[in-house]
């Protein structure tokens, strides 16, 4: 069983596997961009 830690209702992660592409393309496809991460962090702090 995987351990998950979420603070203030926001979690970062992927709950599935099997995608194959260069990391940069996958990060963008799943929303792990600098702008999205910063926006989420700013919304929590």
Residue-level pLDDT at 35: 93
Residue-level pLDDT at 1: 43
* Cβ-based neighbours of 16, under 8 Å, separated by 6 or more: none
pTM of the complete model: 0.56
**pLDDT 10s digits, 1-45:** 455 566 666 777 777 777 788 988 988 888 888 998 888 888 877
Sorted by where each begins, the domain ranges of the chain are 21-45
Residue-level pLDDT at 27: 86
What is the token pair recorded at 40? Answer: 């989420």
């Amino acid at each position: 069983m995987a351990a998950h830690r979420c603070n203030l209702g926001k979690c970062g992660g992927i709950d599935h596997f099997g995608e194959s592409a260069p990391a940069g393309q996958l990060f963008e496809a799943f929303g792990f961009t600098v702008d999205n991460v910063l926006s989420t962090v700013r919304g929590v702090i």
